[in-house]
Amino acid sequence: MIPKFSRGFLFISILLFPFLLIANDGYDLWLNYRKIENKALLDKYNGAFNDYYIKGNSETLKAAENELKLAFSGLLGTEPKLLNSIENGCIVLATKNESVLKGHISAKDYDKLGNEGFIIKSVKINNRNCTLISANTDIGVLYGVFHFIKLIQTQQIADKLTITEVPRLDIRALNHWDNLDGSIERGYAGNSLWKWDELPNTIDKRYIDYARANASIGINATVLNNVNSNPKILTKDYLEKVKALADVFRPYGLKVYLSVSFTSPIKLGGLPTADPLNPQVIDWWEAKAKEIYTLIPDFGGFLVKANSEGQPGPQDYGRTHADGANMLAQALESYKGVVMWRAFVYNSDPEEDRVLQAYNSFKPLDSQFKDNVLVQIKNGPIDFQPREPFSPLFGAMPNTSLMMEFQITQEYLGFSNHLVFLSTLYEETLDSDTYAKGKGSTVSNVIEGKYSTKKLTGMAGVSNIGNSRNWCGHPFAQSNWYSLGRLAWNSETSSESIAEDWIRMTFSNNKDFIEPVKKMMLESRETTVDYMTPLGLNHIMAYNTHRGPGPWVDTAAQPNWKSTYYHRADSIGIGFDRTTGGSNAVSQYFPPVRDRFNSLETCPENLLLWFHHVSWKHKMKSGNTLWDEMCLHYYNGVDKVREMQSSWNKLKSFIDEERFIKVKQLLEEQEVEAVIWRNSCVLYFQTFSKMPIPEELEKPEKSLSYYIGLKLE
Ligand code: GCW
């Protein structure tokens, strides 16, 4: 049930939408239902899909109906009519058992759909042409409606439709690192969407648009608060607020989860301990689970950061991660809740390579986690760097449900100021072959649970959403939220098709706009790697803020927070030796991956300095020395940003001025920062290589000391 007041908001939200479109301030995201300009297409679509017939009246089906009306009024310029019976050109929304569907979709086809899949099919009913959108559940129908709208929006709809879509992963989540005071850890698009002080009485209409956007890409889980969790989130007052949000999100298939602090029984319950094996602690969590599920019967579960970066955890009591996770899982089990337990752990001992630590801590616990626990693993072994190899934990724990954690917010990739399409980063990780069960054991197959004895699957993205008008800060940052959803639905979707759909939906269906913008997007991540951390470099950004370059950072609260720890530049060369002769991190990978990474000859050059300490004079595949090659990458990064600028500047006539100018200005800023990155890194590393910047390249304007003194705000 949506509470009464929020229905009103839903209505207002829908009424307001056309004005938001006109404003073109980016609020409407990819659900930009502007009128189709091509007259022939418009007539065709209007003829083929003018009205609808709907069976059922749940809140979810109402949401589907509203979306259809909203989209069609915008795209086709006429609101579709609700019919009492099937007519020509009719869209039929109905779940499995409706008699109107008899003979059109087989029981076998429905069996394949599970709880969230859908079918869209062109059929003749009573000799009339109809489009069926059907599923086993109402939420499946809603997903089908969004898919259908996308086909019209992107003008890619076939005359005869037979589409079956089933999500590959169970949990498709956004992780908000939102604090209860409204700030967002690593958030660059304003403050939190959640207005805790107004909840539960006032429901911001944005909550509904947030849920619509997520449902449109199949995201079905939202973790509302920061993994560095404030125990207050589990107080009665806050749970009432969480319930209000859960009620708004429910019709859109979006379940609410919370990040919890392991010491909640001490902080809230006044217990002397949070030891997971202590009976009072167990009782406290069981009572808390009961309290939560009484308020929110479909509550998703807990996300936990424990014994990581100062957060409390079971190890404080001599217990293991499995003991901690299982105790919470036990409390949630009877309600079908899950625990997502993060594997992001490392200690401060500089002697033990940080890269080794998550694997060494978690692999021995394989088989020990309960069925309703997922271990949530960051894509790479360090921390969301512009490029990392995949985490070796994928494939290494065949008796544990493993889920992926990507970062959507651009903590290490220029905040919301740089245009970086992260889909290609996600795709690179998902397509990586772990060889856990021989060739073809890609990370994607691993997280789909293909080699696992445990059955839960999932993918999470650390959200880049804030309360800025366009949600994500940079207009193109919206595409990263979008691609996370698309890949969580089907991890084999190509970044190219994701980019194309997003451009068509968000901006324009004009080929002359799509092609150059798609190129910009698809190249943008590599461009950023080039001007920040080429050839496997990583973690050389400014201390703590992670904004701008800081390869010189050599003092930090913890030794493995220093940049020098990661790049290890010296007079001989640069890079971290993780071969069998070094920290031996390569051994965490299955052969032949381990051998490929271990050898200087076969290690992919884009990860070279991740795995090897390499001489400045080392001859690269291009024939250049490592030093020259590194310089060329840094310079190429800047050149590519300039290319993006000149491509974008030619596209003014295709889109609204507001977004055009915003992107133009941001690209100018990106160029300035890319030059700062390049010059800082080249000048700093030159103090070790003592080699000249190749002749043909422009010389840095300023000295190294200038860049060291510069702080990007
Ligand atoms: O990347 C680091 C961030 C922290 C973050 C942590 C984590 C939420 O710098 O801000 O804390 O990762 O993922 O837990």
Contact 204, 525 (CB under 8 A): no
Lookup: tokens for 150: 């996308």
Lookup: tokens for 586: 């390569």
Q: Cα–Cα distance between 267 and 274 in angstroms, integer?
A: 9
Mean pLDDT, rounded, for 238-259: 98
Q: How confident is the model at residue 98 (pLDDT cuts 50, 70, 90)?
A: confident
Bridge-based pairing of strands 614-615 and 573-574 is: antiparallel
Q: Residue 351 gets which letter from DSSP? A: T
* Residue 411 annotated as catalytic: yes
pLDDT at 14 over 70: no
Per-residue pLDDT at 17: 43
Bridge-based pairing of strands 221-223 and 255-259 is: parallel
Q: Which is catalytic among the residues 67, 411, 628, 629?
A: 411
Per-residue pLDDT at 5: 40
pLDDT at 1 over 70: no
Lookup: tokens for 202: 């006032």
Residue 665: Cβ-neighbour burial (10 angstroms; 0-12, 13-18, 19+): exposed
Helices (H), 342-401: 354-362
Decide whether any atom of ligand 1 lies within 6 Å of the 242 Cβ. Answer: no
Per-residue pLDDT at 350: 83
Residue nearest to atom 12 of ligand 1 (CA): 383
- C-alpha 185 to ligand 1 mean position (Å): 8
Give the tens place of pLDDT for each residue, 118-156: 999 999 988 899 999 999 999 999 999 999 999 999 999
Mean pLDDT, rounded, for 333-345: 98
Decide whether any atom of ligand 1 lies within 6 Å of the 561 Cβ. Answer: no
pLDDT at 339 over 90: yes
- C-alpha 309 to ligand 1 mean position (Å): 8
So where are the chain's domains?
33-165, 171-493, 530-576+613-708
Residue 563: Cβ-neighbour burial (10 angstroms; 0-12, 13-18, 19+): buried
Q: pTM for the complete prediction?
A: 0.96
Contact 288, 282 (CB under 8 A): no
Q: Residue 315 gets which letter from DSSP? A: G
CATH match of 530-576+613-708 with 3.90.1330.10: yes
Q: Cα–Cα distance between 54 and 256 in angstroms, integer?
A: 28
**If you average pLDDT over every residue of the chain, what do you get?**
95
Contact 301, 257 (CB under 8 A): yes
Give the tens place of pLDDT for each residue, 197-245: 999 999 999 999 999 999 999 999 999 999 999 999 999 999 999 999 9
Per-residue pLDDT at 126: 84
Per-residue pLDDT at 545: 96
Contact 387, 528 (CB under 8 A): no
Residue 503: Cβ-neighbour burial (10 angstroms; 0-12, 13-18, 19+): buried
pLDDT above 70 covers a percentage of the chain that reads 97
Q: How confident is the model at residue 103 (pLDDT cuts 50, 70, 90)?
A: confident
Per-residue pLDDT at 21: 37
Contact 553, 680 (CB under 8 A): no
Sign of CA dihedral 656, 658, 660, 661: positive
Q: How confident is the model at residue 6 (pLDDT cuts 50, 70, 90)?
A: very low
- C-alpha 467 to ligand 1 mean position (Å): 21
Which CATH topology does 33-165 take? Chitobiase; domain 2 (3.30.379)
pLDDT at 484 over 90: yes
Alpha carbon dihedral 529, 532, 535, 536, in 10-degree steps, equals -90
Per-residue pLDDT at 275: 98
Ligand 1 atom showing the smallest separation from residue 405 Cα: 13
- C-alpha 382 to ligand 1 mean position (Å): 11
Q: How far out from the chain centre does Cα 485 lie?
A: 7
Bridge-based pairing of strands 401-407 and 373-378 is: parallel
**What SS3 state is found at 120?**
strand
Per-residue pLDDT at 50: 82
Q: How far out from the chain centre does Cα 458 lie?
A: 12
Give the tens place of pLDDT for each residue, 518-535: 999 999 999 999 999 999
Contact 409, 177 (CB under 8 A): yes
Which CATH topology does 171-493 take? TIM Barrel (3.20.20)
Task: Give the DSSP H or E segment for 372.
Answer: none
* Residue 25 annotated as catalytic: no
Per-residue pLDDT at 2: 42
Mean pLDDT, rounded, for 593-613: 98
Per-residue pLDDT at 23: 52
Mean pLDDT, rounded, for 319-327: 98
Contact 589, 580 (CB under 8 A): no
* Residue 197 annotated as catalytic: no
